Amino acid sequence: MDKAEFDSFADEYLALHTKNISASGEGPAFFAEYKIRDIAQEMARRNAVPARMLDFGAGVGTSVPWVRQYMPAAQLTCADVSERSLELAKSRFAGDASFAYFDGRTLPFETGEFDLAYAMCVFHHIDHAEHVSLLRELHRVVGARGTLVIFEHNPYNPLTVRAVNTCEFDVNAKLITASNMQRACREAGFTDVQVRYRIFFPHALAALRPLEKYLTHVPLGAQYAVYATGA
């Protein structure tokens, strides 16, 4: 994980991200919100209320206000390798979360400290050879009964591939298939690893989005989510 690379884009991140996803007709808030809303709905379906949550690779804190909206009782910790990103996140959302620097290898938390950890389109920025070791760290901090949720870009969606290939801060990114991410989670010790595909319709076809709940098994969505449990 390249700290210097993320630090260099921290101040421009939101503007660059907004420009890059403009073809979808949505802004960064839409993508951050749907992910947290999905997590909240899944936890409610499981009758689980996470008390402590970890945002792995939190960046400038885009998810923070949505956690406060959908899971207001949760204590949220944002971790990142980019100290500049964490500075910006803290300046935007001081009091809404705690912020922790991560050295790229070992998470500075106790075993089983969190009920749930999530990563929003983070792993495609990480060397694939490091995925399993980092997933093992996430397995450690969520413990045997915790949940991990990973959202990633779908390399089988041509519009997603185009967006990544034209994005300045994705210049070194390597997309990951859902099957490879699922396999890596299992190798790291997670069980009950499920994949769901998301975001099939752009803003112009937003009226069709209620149909997406029937399409989560179709591998053509712009993004996918992996849900995994600790044991």
> Can you give the pLDDT of all 231 residues of the chain as single tens digits?
554 455 445 545 555 555 455 556 677 789 999 999 999 999 999 999 899 999 999 999 999 999 999 999 999 999 999 998 999 999 999 999 999 999 999 999 999 999 999 999 999 989 999 999 999 999 999 998 899 999 999 999 998 888 777 766 566 789 999 999 999 999 999 999 999 999 999 888 999 999 999 999 999 999 999 999 987
| Rounded Cα distance, 45 and 193, in Å | 16
| Rounded Cα distance, 30 and 21, in Å | 11
Burial of 107 (0-12, 13-18, 19+ CB in 10 A): buried
The shares of helix, strand and coil residues in the chain, as percent rounded to the nearest 5, are 45, 20, 35
Element of type H or E holding 19: helix 13-20
| Rounded Cα distance, 228 and 77, in Å | 19
pTM to 2 decimal places = 0.89
Contact between residue 66 and residue 33 where contact means Cβ atoms under 8 Å apart: yes
CA distance to 59, 196, 210, per residue, from 12 (Å): 12, 31, 33
CATH H superfamily, domain 3-229: Vaccinia Virus protein VP39 (3.40.50.150)
| Rounded Cα distance, 21 and 227, in Å | 25
